[in-house]
Amino acid sequence: MGLSEEQKEFQKVAFNFAAREMAPHMAEWDQKELFPVDTMRKAAQLGFGGVYVQTDVGGAGLSRLDTSVIFEALATGCTSTTAYMSIHNMCVWIIDRFGSEEQRHRLCPPLCAMEKFASYCLTEPGSGSDAASLMTSAVRQHDHYILNGSKAFISGGGEADIYVVMCRTGGPGPRGISCVVVEKGTPGLSFGKKEKKVGWNSQPTRAVIFEDCAVPVANRIGDEGQGFLIAMKGLNGGRINVASCSLGAAHASIVLARDYLKVRKQFGEPLANSQYLQFQLAEMAARLVASRLMIRTAATALQEEREDAIVLCSMAKLFATDECFAICNQALQMHGGYGYLKDYAVQQYVRDSRVHQILEGSNEVMRMLISRSLLQE
């Protein structure tokens, strides 16, 4: 609803790719914990490796709304893989938006083609929601920064080629944080064990560790002290992206529940004949559309750089990830005992969408940002 013909075409291409290249392999990627590099590179050929990155460095140059439409559609095929692609896109956008011309033209083209993969490194063992208290240090020595510290819960950790790292080059607080790119293979860069997770199993998650890791000053993105601003601007879009992935999971779960209700018989008739279940399905569909409209409103505000964009992104992320997880969970419930079996895809949408309420700023932090905005009026 409300999409241009061009946007409907993007959506169709993404839905078709999800159905043909992702959905048939979703369970295998989850159960075997496979990182589907080849599939993501196929997606990149369609422009999905740098959706909202400028065209002169290999991006598709699309809007935030276009991006939301695409990620929702892709997430119906595999929410976990699409969520990683959304993080990768955020990293490429950071380099495109804040990097020098040399950095943009050196780093972005292979990332947009997904010849190389990127990871976003903000969270630390001791600083999650309180990101401004991060401790990873970057001490300048001549033309290098010497990094020491560690990052936690890094999607793509160990597999990615480019790490967009927020580190402390100055004093305490947000103004002491800078952003640097660390390339895989840099001496002093290492990784923790692969984490065992409830969901998001098609993407590896590891700690990223820096021990006297020398990074050229030329790899700094933006100015010294600009890192926290860069991180937050990246996350504004990241919140829209991950919420869009929740839309895709909920969308797919409603379809699965609808189809199951039509074929499953109890008490001599299909479950679809139960008015109670009909009403539940109707509420699920209404909550999905409400979530989608909130996300698309926030995406448009972010694209237009409106003053209310940050709070709208926070509201959309809070509302949509909560509602969409509830939709997935209700779809599982409608499947009864079968929904709890890994033979049925609905349980994977539940597991993969649950973490969306935690990352890119937990939903408790979203509530805090929204309330602060209201109280400052």
Catalytic residues: 360
Burial of 12 (0-12, 13-18, 19+ CB in 10 A): exposed
Q: What are phi and psi of 52, to 5 degrees?
A: -110, 30
Q: What is the spatial distance between Cα 248 and Cα 229, in angstroms, rounded to a whole number?
A: 29
Of 188, 206, 204, nearest to 137 by C-alpha is 188
- Strand-pair partners of 166: 179
DSSP of 310-323: HHHHHHHHHHHHHH
The SS3 call for residue 138 is strand
Report how many helices (DSSP H) and strands (DSSP E) the chain contains, helices first. 11, 10
Asked if 209 contacts 148 with a C-beta cutoff of 8 angstroms, the reply is no
Angle at 43 between CA 305 and CA 232, to 5 degrees: 30
The H or E element that residue 27 is part of is helix 26-32
